[in-house]
Structure 1
Amino acid sequence: MSSALERQCSLLINSNAGSGEVAELRTGLESSDVEAKLTALKRVIHLQLTGEPLPGMLMTVIRYVLPHENTHLRKMGLYFLEIVDARGDDGAMRPEMILVCNMVRNELVHANEFSRGCSLRFVCKLNDMELLEPLVPAVRQNLEHRHSFVRRNAVLAVSAIFTKFEALIPDAPELVAEFLAAETDVACQRNAFAMLCAADVDRAVAYLHEHLSAIAGWGDTLQLAALELIRRVCRMAPLEKGKYIQVIFALLSSSSAAVVYEAANTLISMSGAPTAVRAAAQAYCSLLASQSDNNVKLILLDRVSDLQTAHTPVLTEMVMDILRALSSPNADIRRKTLSLAMSLLTRRNVDEVVGVLKKELLRHAASSGPTALAASSELRGLLLRALHTAAVRFPDAAPAAVSIIGDFLSDEHGEVAVDAAAFAREIAHTREDLRPEILRSILDALLSLGNATVVRGALWILGEYAESPADLKASFQTVLQAVGRLPLAVADDDTDPETADGEADAGDTGVAEAEKPKKVSRRPTVLADGTYASQTMESETASAAASKAVAARGASGGAGGKGQPGPPLRMLLVNGEYFVAAAVCAALTKLALRLSAFEAAPATLRNKVRAEAMLVCASILRYGRDASALAPIDNGAAERITACILSLTGTVTGDTAETGDTEELWLDAPRAAYDAVVREKRRKEAAAAKAEALKEAVPAEEVIGFGLLRSGRRVAGTGVDEADLGEDADLSRARDGGGKGGKGGPGGFELGRVVQLTGMSDPVYAEAHVAVHEYDIMLDILVMNVSNETLTNLTVELATMGDLRLCERPQAHTLAAGARVNVRANIKVSSTETGIIFGNVVYDVAGAAAASGCVILNDVHMDVMDYMRPAEVHDAAFRSMWAEFEWENKVAVSTALTSLSALLNFIIESTNMRCLTLRGSEDEAGYLAANLYARSVFGEDALVNVSVDRGGDGRLAGFIRIRSKTQGIALSLGDKITLRQSQAQMAAASTGGGGGGGGRGASGQSASVLAAAAM
């Protein structure tokens, strides 16, 4: 294996070519069959690339391949000559290369144009002056060949020779300038012009000025070379910009998309005037509409986004052109287009943008077929959120945006309907003048809503913002109609006429406005006193029927089975959606209490409304506790419905309640709580916008750090080099993380990341400092010879487990007794997995024959938290990922503390996540339900849901559920929580006095002691 090959190659593949195979290859090269020669030559090239020694093969190729008449075979022979070593082990030119040089010269004057072109390309690859010198006359001669293929390659050969060995062809610029003046082929002109730009800029500029008026008629490749030269000239001489502005404006109308793109880039780099920026942005938008490649569109959108930072007023005029990219089927392009358009919204263009968004929404809503609906569902969600943003930022555009909400509340795709409901709720809260229209849209759509989340949002809006008598009446009747005929029951496929008749009579005593089903079957029966009772004797059959009904409705999404085509809301109630049932009862309670506030309302009407609301609440509660129900009601929903009944009757805890307190609890508190949610959302958006604006801003007093002149260590939180702090560097480093377990500044040395690799009694002591830089892990290993012998060939051998890859092997060292050396290793990380680095230290003892040793190193476990970053995500996207991700790790929580906020802080700190749920009322509410989110540096998502409540004895109990797309993240986060709880438990035991009855210190009080079991 030659040393030159080792210097040039980074990957060597062992082919194990024996002497027999070499003989077969030589026989194949000597064969008269062209295919056999080609096959053998390809194998020879492969072996040569892998470093196999092939003695005598060069002469065989020269004799039997290079003189052959087949042009393709001769071309493959030139490929072999490119990789073969032209010099021997002594550094002298091999004698065979004289024959090669003669053969190449013959090829350069060959009658076949293809042979000449291939030989000229081969000349470009030669790096030996002795080989190139006799070929220069033939190369110059090819500049005058009649065929353009030969001339263009001859220009490349002249450029390569002049670049490597200028003395061989010193007049190359003059020669190429004369060639360029007389040349008519576009490809030859481009190669010659590029050679002048690299070798003699003055001649290239002179040629450009001479043909400045004709640039618009040049070929696209030559125009691109001219634009590159213009950028270079303008960087070196800024005063020359005025000469080329008109040329660049002319190139913006070129038929080549590449020329238009480069001309726009050149124009922006030369001038920041509004006219130039407007022309460049218009060119980008034209390309955005005409190009079909998704990658090209993403690049163009990035360029427009870059323009936005300094030229926002100019780009606001082109929002409509940018929105034309919404026609692309690619989700990334749509998302980036809408994000860019929303950042360019102003009062002048908001009406046009809202009109385009509405048109796109209606167009995609008319898509037919499940495939088309699924493809456009994400776009509909993006468009709805964009309309939501426009309506919130510009209240004048809200009426136009609100008019489309009702069309999407019943959208088949759940996320779109949820976005529409959130949009309606926020606009109804902030715009009192638009509430009637929103209420009308919800009332029209309520009977067709089948999504539980959307139904809850719609009911909340009706209960909060239906305030006029007409709205109260319409809302109350619509909710009763959606609930359907009472009592609730599981439907059977076979209907008993007598039961149906009996229930028809019973239903007439209930809600008069309820729609009567055509064919129903009920389990409860009516007793003599008019009350309802369950047929317990048929409970087993009812359970079987319930099971079949669940299976049937599971496939249809709650649309009702055979014999009961009731409203979707009723199907949700029958199927056991008691969260929706509590929302129904709460909405009816609010409507009844709000009606009671009208003094002009007759007492009989108020009592009737309250009675009907209580009847619905009682029916839902009775159904949930019935054995024939598809699912039993949970305690939370039962308590909520019971509170509704007590509030309607005027009692809360058995005593008479104050009317004002009840109305405040039901009518004012929910709206105030939602107002706090909206304010918090606005605060987060403002903070995010401010952070984004300050991201690129650099303070005027910021210290400029030169990497070659500075130490590279910065003090944490200051952004200042230690070299600038002088004597205070050690003090600042100690204060900001230099202590044990502390964290130093970015790129600084952290003692908490030092890992001991060997024991104190080993002949070699080693410890490593582990530094994580997103995609890289840097190991700085200190190796010390603690023996009395000199150790030679001391090598640190490392290996990895997981998605870690060692880039290079540490080299061998010789250590005298007591000497030390720092060994550095670079490890690449490809995913967020808990990896392990292990290995050993091997060495030889000097002066002792066959004496060697090996020390096993401790494992280095990489922490998954090094790659997790807190991030924000939309609620709909969080729910979508939660349903999509298949890996879940469930951790049971049990703690002696009673502070829910402290528990949540502990989980956030342990998982390095961001809380997406509004905080501040955990301890008062007595329960905690929070969503946490983080994203790794590799773009992987991690979701955490915390569900904890406080029991009667004050102890907290619940679960922490972790979901991710990969198993490693879910398990690693669960293990991290388990490890942290163990550390917190030890800290609490050491500071709290030990036993369970002992006191707890401050640190023990803030640390949550979890009993976690990863599943």
Structure 2
Amino acid sequence: MVLVLKKEVSKTLDSEQEDTGKYRQLLVRTLHSCCIKFPDVAVTVIPVLMEFLSDTNELAATDVLVFIREAIQKFDNLQPLIIEKLLEAFRTIKSAKVHRAALWILGEYANSIPDIEAVLKEINNTLGEGPLVDAEQKLIAGEVDENSTATGTGGSVTLVTSDGTYATQSAFNTASKSATEQRPALRQYLMDGDFFIGACLASTLTKLALKFGEIATPSQKNRFDAEVMLIMAGIIHLGKSGMPTKPITNDDRDHILFCLRTLSDRPAHVVPVFEQLCRRALSEMLAAKEAEEAAASKEARDKQPPGGGGCAGGGGKTAQAQADDPVGFAQLEAAENRELGEDVFEMALSRAVVGGRGGPSDPPTGLNKLNKITQLTGFSDPVYAEAYVHVNQYDIVLDVLIVNQTNDTLQNCTLELATLGDLKLVEKPQPVVLAPKDFCNIKANVKVASTENGIIFGNIVYDVTGAASDRNVVVLNDIHIDIMDYIIPASCTDQEFMRMWAEFEWENKVTVNTPLTDLSDYLKHLLKSTNMKCLTPEKALSGQCGFMAANMYAKSIFGEDALANLSIEKPFNKPEAPVQGHIRIRAKSQGMALSLGDKINMTQKGTQSKMITA
């Protein structure tokens, strides 16, 4: 399987289709999980994935580095290979974020003298030799000289072309490389005003210098420290020179000065932070991630119906149902008073087979169906109609019951429907003839194109036998399609959430208006009513601090993404005060953002009415 995944990864290198980046990202994550479970295949996978570090798709390159970071932490035998391949790909990286992660890995796991010297050499190649300010001044002076020479002479040269004719070439036609093309990658980041990578570089150089000083001679140690401190001082000097587009921030400058002070004094309480605590924090984060994944998988297994696995403890398959087993009808089961001794296991199994999601306290399937019936006309109308709305992924089936309450025969009784929103009526229902006090069922199919609150409206038109008047019309009540039937909880990484949050155009800001007084209770109520999943870890939400911020994510069956950010607060001095705050919803389409906002407002009104009734 790993060989097939490697072939697919190689195919995406030359492909330029629209979804190639997402497909490549999924392949990298799959190879990541395979290599962590089976470390023997990591030796062949790592060189292939290293090619993605130079990719313009930052997400794929970031996933590669996440995999490399976990692999180099868990498997000591892979450290030399990863350091070697990472140094080879270092100068081809095109993203500052990927460069920062690569610098952290190199600074943390380069332990031998050759590896440390190779890392410093590669940093000098991607940063530039010598003081940074002097190098920039020379670069600018070189461009000024070329421009002034071309402006001063303005001469032309007569050339003979291949067909024997004469052509004149002006000095202004000769193109020269710009300063951006001539600068190394790390120095270009600094000139663009991104001095956070300078602070990361200072941390990496400090780690390398501290480890180098423990295994090298004093003369080598002094030389290495001087070279490293010169680079850090050059970054601060460049940040204050006014040459970059943005000056260095106070935080980045203080961090670099802290690294310089650490190398100069080597305080005993600070050195372990660079040498031990960073790697310990990574191991604790990976352990917490594994525990979270194990808990999620256990929860998913617990949600499965008992006996649904189909395998016995000895490894053999067992029959899920015997030929002579009784057939259970969920509609005939009583909700309460189980005096007849029904088998609870059989009841749960039959509920799972028919697709029931609820627990023991939920009503049976027949009652659930009754809850989805919408009354379309009044009881006093000549024609009574009600509809059962069955949502089946991409289409909606309306099962309309029409009852003739008159003593006349209704000719050409037609159900006329129209839609509002991204709904489309597939076919027009055929007219029927209803005898006095007769009834019939008419089904209509409606296709759904996107996640948006839709409305179905219409009327019933009929003729009365022997009547000379025009056709009779009964107007139907509107049928509102709930958006929650198409939204399912989903998960994504923090990087994907931030990228989508920046890309999505439509935002809907909803004000929190609820009688609930507990922050956690309101979050649970919101997750239940919107079918969204909370991406913020449980540890970050625990405790009472007077405010809460959480990110939520959901995906529709049509592939649309919905993001939400919850920011709520509650004053400490008023324990009975309701929760206050805002919910910001972002989506790629306007309908998704507005529909989710309407759903949240409706649930808030429902909560208020329940509290008032209670």
Query: Fold-level match, TM-score > 0.5?
Result: yes
Q: 2:441 aligns with which of 808, 817, 823?
A: 823
Q: Compare the two structures and name the one with the higher helix fraction.
A: 1
Relative to 1, partners in 2 of residues 1:960 and 1:761: Cα closer, same or farther, differing over 3 Å?
A: same
- Is 1:565 aligned with 2:182? yes
- Is 1:838 aligned with 2:457? yes
Match of 1:673 in 2: 285
Q: Deviations over 1:520-542 (max 9, x none)?
A: 469xxxxxxxxxxxxxxxxxxxx
- Per-residue deviation, 1:934: 2.2
| Aligned equivalents of 1:722, 1:797: Cα separation in 2 | 41
| Aligned equivalents of 1:671, 1:890: Cα separation in 2 | 38
Relative to 1, partners in 2 of residues 1:703 and 1:972: Cα closer, same or farther, differing over 3 Å?
A: farther
| Aligned equivalents of 1:397, 1:482: Cα separation in 2 | 32
| Aligned equivalents of 2:569, 2:239: Cα separation in 1 | 24
| Aligned equivalents of 1:597, 1:901: Cα separation in 2 | 50
* Contact kept in structure 1, 2:451 and 2:592, CA below 8 Å: no
* Contact kept in structure 1, 2:384 and 2:403, CA below 8 Å: yes
- Is 1:866 aligned with 2:485? yes
| Aligned equivalents of 2:349, 2:289: Cα separation in 1 | 47
Q: Deviations over 1:229-262 (max 9, x none)?
A: xxxxxxxxxxxxxxxxxxxxxxxxxxxxxxxxxx
- Per-residue deviation, 1:450: 0.8
* Contact kept in structure 2, 1:798 and 1:838, CA below 8 Å: yes
Q: 2:75 aligns with which of 431, 442, 449?
A: 431
* Contact kept in structure 1, 2:128 and 2:187, CA below 8 Å: yes
Q: Secondary structure at the match of 1:409?
A: helix
* Contact kept in structure 2, 1:944 and 1:960, CA below 8 Å: yes
- Per-residue deviation, 1:942: 1.9
Gapped regions of structure 2 (runs ≥ 5): 143-176, 312-317, 336-343, 352-356, 573-579
- Write the letter of the residue equivalent to 1:838: F
- Is 1:482 aligned with 2:99? no
| Aligned equivalents of 2:184, 2:50: Cα separation in 1 | 18
- Per-residue deviation, 1:463: 3.8
Relative to 1, partners in 2 of residues 1:755 and 1:579: Cα closer, same or farther, differing over 3 Å?
A: farther
Relative to 1, partners in 2 of residues 1:463 and 1:564: Cα closer, same or farther, differing over 3 Å?
A: same
Relative to 1, partners in 2 of residues 1:640 and 1:683: Cα closer, same or farther, differing over 3 Å?
A: farther
Relative to 1, partners in 2 of residues 1:823 and 1:988: Cα closer, same or farther, differing over 3 Å?
A: closer
| Aligned equivalents of 2:128, 2:511: Cα separation in 1 | 43
Q: Secondary structure at the match of 1:458?
A: helix
Relative to 1, partners in 2 of residues 1:658 and 1:837: Cα closer, same or farther, differing over 3 Å?
A: same
- Per-residue deviation, 1:676: 2.7
Q: 2:585 aligns with which of 946, 951, 960?
A: 960
Q: Secondary structure at the match of 1:436?
A: helix
Q: Deviations over 1:189-232 (max 9, x none)?
A: xxxxxxxxxxxxxxxxxxxxxxxxxxxxxxxxxxxxxxxxxxxx
- Where relative contact order (Cα < 8 A, 6+ residues apart) is larger, the structure is 2
Q: Secondary structure at the match of 1:827?
A: strand
Q: Secondary structure at the match of 1:423?
A: helix
Q: 2:96 aligns with which of 447, 452, 455?
A: 452
Match of 1:932 in 2: 553
* Contact kept in structure 1, 2:417 and 2:457, CA below 8 Å: yes
- Write the letter of the residue equivalent to 1:960: I
Match of 2:399 in 1: 780
* Contact kept in structure 2, 1:785 and 1:820, CA below 8 Å: yes
Aligned counterparts, 1:219-258, within 5 A: none
* Contact kept in structure 1, 2:12 and 2:20, CA below 8 Å: yes
Q: Secondary structure at the match of 1:455?
A: helix
Match of 1:531 in 2: none
Aligned counterparts, 1:758-907, within 5 A: 758-759=377-378, 762-783=381-402, 790=408, 792-793=410-411, 794-801=413-420, 802-807=422-427, 809=429, 811-814=431-434, 816=436, 819=437, 821=439, 823-829=441-447, 831-834=449-452, 835-844=454-463, 849-850=468-469, 853-870=472-489, 888-892=505-509, 895=512
Relative to 1, partners in 2 of residues 1:374 and 1:934: Cα closer, same or farther, differing over 3 Å?
A: closer
Relative to 1, partners in 2 of residues 1:901 and 1:675: Cα closer, same or farther, differing over 3 Å?
A: farther
* Contact kept in structure 2, 1:931 and 1:943, CA below 8 Å: no
Q: Secondary structure at the match of 2:450?
A: coil
Q: Deviations over 1:654-708 (max 9, x none)?
A: xx99548855764532442244335545776898899999988497465889999
| Aligned equivalents of 1:830, 1:875: Cα separation in 2 | 31
- Write the letter of the residue equivalent to 1:575: D
| Aligned equivalents of 1:375, 1:778: Cα separation in 2 | 33
* Contact kept in structure 2, 1:714 and 1:722, CA below 8 Å: no
| Aligned equivalents of 1:377, 1:733: Cα separation in 2 | 39
- Per-residue deviation, 1:857: 1.1
* Contact kept in structure 1, 2:90 and 2:122, CA below 8 Å: yes
Asked which structure has the greater CA Rg, the reply is 1
* Contact kept in structure 2, 1:780 and 1:822, CA below 8 Å: no
- Is 1:942 aligned with 2:547? no
- Write the letter of the residue equivalent to 1:836: I
Q: State the percentage of identical aligned residues.
A: 27
* Contact kept in structure 2, 1:595 and 1:601, CA below 8 Å: no
- Per-residue deviation, 1:974: 1.4
Gapped regions of structure 1 (runs ≥ 5): 1-340, 343-352, 489-502, 508-515, 523-559, 651-655, 726-731, 739-743, 964-969, 995-1000, 1002-1015
- Per-residue deviation, 1:431: 0.8
- Per-residue deviation, 1:620: 7.9
- Write the letter of the residue equivalent to 1:454: V
Relative to 1, partners in 2 of residues 1:474 and 1:766: Cα closer, same or farther, differing over 3 Å?
A: same
Q: Deviations over 1:947-966 (max 9, x none)?
A: 56789999866843223xxx
Q: Deviations over 1:712-734 (max 9, x none)?
A: 78899x89679999xxxxxx999
Q: Deviations over 1:151-197 (max 9, x none)?
A: xxxxxxxxxxxxxxxxxxxxxxxxxxxxxxxxxxxxxxxxxxxxxxx
- Write the letter of the residue equivalent to 1:962: A
Relative to 1, partners in 2 of residues 1:563 and 1:880: Cα closer, same or farther, differing over 3 Å?
A: closer
- Per-residue deviation, 1:804: 2.6
- Write the letter of the residue equivalent to 1:567: P
| Aligned equivalents of 2:477, 2:552: Cα separation in 1 | 37
Q: 1:417 aligns with which of 55, 61, 81?
A: 61
Match of 1:273 in 2: none
| Aligned equivalents of 1:974, 1:684: Cα separation in 2 | 29
| Aligned equivalents of 1:763, 1:596: Cα separation in 2 | 96
| Aligned equivalents of 2:348, 2:287: Cα separation in 1 | 48
Count of aligned residue pairs for this structure pair: 540
* Contact kept in structure 2, 1:592 and 1:609, CA below 8 Å: no
* Contact kept in structure 2, 1:795 and 1:811, CA below 8 Å: yes
Q: Secondary structure at the match of 1:396?
A: helix
Match of 1:979 in 2: 598
| Aligned equivalents of 1:712, 1:822: Cα separation in 2 | 23
* Contact kept in structure 2, 1:914 and 1:934, CA below 8 Å: no
Relative to 1, partners in 2 of residues 1:569 and 1:385: Cα closer, same or farther, differing over 3 Å?
A: same
- Is 1:443 aligned with 2:58? no
- Is 1:750 aligned with 2:369? yes
- Per-residue deviation, 1:979: 1.9
Q: Deviations over 1:795-836 (max 9, x none)?
A: 4332334443244525435465xx573533231425334443
Match of 1:308 in 2: none
Q: Deviations over 1:573-612 (max 9, x none)?
A: 4335566556445545655676788899799679758855
Match of 1:167 in 2: none
- Per-residue deviation, 1:854: 1.9
* Contact kept in structure 1, 2:506 and 2:590, CA below 8 Å: yes
Aligned counterparts, 1:677-756, within 5 A: 677=289, 680=292, 697=310, 700=319, 702=321, 736-738=361-363, 745=365, 749-756=368-375
Q: Deviations over 1:744-782 (max 9, x none)?
A: 54x863344232323566454433221212244232334
* Contact kept in structure 1, 2:9 and 2:24, CA below 8 Å: yes
Q: Secondary structure at the match of 2:100?
A: helix
The alignment's TM-score, normalised by the length of structure 1, stands at 0.43
Q: Deviations over 1:462-492 (max 9, x none)?
A: 243334565455445644653447987xxxx
